[in-house]
Structure 1
Amino acid sequence: MYMYALLLSGLEMQMAGNFRPSSGAEHHISHLWEMEGINPALDALHGEKVGVALSLVCARYKKIASIEDIAGRIVENYPGIPENSMWCIFGKLFNAVMDENTPDPLSDVDPQVLVEKFPQIQEVIDKIPDGCWIQQLLTRAGCKVTLTDLGLTGEIVPLTLELSPFVRRRMTLMRLSRLINLD
């Protein structure tokens, strides 16, 4: 089953002509950690970081799907890319990261369309596993499972979730969630 999934993702990437079908928010988190702007150097492979990040992403997406009144949670005025945070974190990479994110794909998103399409988004999220199930699979496979296994602490999660969507200029649900008040 797992080999079949790997084959399918490889075929999807070949058909699309890019990595997008197999590189979403979980990869963006791994790349953010690899940039070492919010964390020290980690003694972990890219795939190990992706696995741990996947459990964070699934948990975040399930939280988004649990919202009952999305219209009441839409951010009134999207503040744009958090340049101050990004400058502090990315330092000399700041200009490259800003270039990667210009124009900001969220500037083209109509919040009303997000509200209208939200039930469909919830249906898709309902089909993905939750973070605990991902952790169980990682445990069974003998992989790194938690942030601690990677050498990180839970304190890094809020900043990771805030900045990881800007590692690549891709529209993921993690990036789209910046238009939703999740607090």
Structure 2
Amino acid sequence: MNKALIKLAYKQVIDNTSTGDFEKNVFNASYQEFLFKSQAYNMEGKFKTFSELKANDGRANSLHYKLSFAVGNFINRLNNRIPVLTDNADNNLVFEVPKFELIESDLTDKTKHLVAINYCTGVLTLLDVIGEYMILATGDVADSETFESFTLKMQPGLSVVFYHELINLQMAEVNGHDTLLKYNIKGNAL
């Protein structure tokens, strides 16, 4: 496995069966905001679901963005920690960018309300993959001799959304001159 710089995204889906305080707050606040904000795309009251609203008026897609304001305070309280994703030592992973998503909703049935928060990490260095486990380090540690690492299991909802394979650069004397040679991680000249 070659070392690489990566970013991860984790999708946390929240519905009426979600049990934590954070999840319940996001669920309730986003549903109330949906009831209010959806009126602009349903003046005659013909439609009941988010899918119907989008099919009738493409501007209804802006509800993702508009509802995010109702849950922003709850997300800010997370202090950039993904609440449902931990490494093997039970430490929450850190996210840089959260993105709120309205998956579906129904004006007449709150139990059909379904939202997600997509958390995107900053740059991580992928050091190795062993089975379903990734050995990672925070940031770009390609040029570091020592660094802290952690282990994370691949799981549903977790995706690699950015990947950049690393190469080693080495100096060598060629014909009496220092020359920069590119080597891949395995040490083969390119």
Larger Rg: 2
Name whichever structure is richer in strand by fraction: 2
Question: Does TM, normalized by the shorter one, top 0.5?
Answer: no
Name whichever structure is richer in helix by fraction: 1
If the length of structure 2 is used for normalisation, what is the TM-score?
Answer: 0.22
If the length of structure 1 is used for normalisation, what is the TM-score?
Answer: 0.22
The answer to which structure, 1 or 2, has the higher relative contact order (CA under 8 A, 6+ apart) is: 1
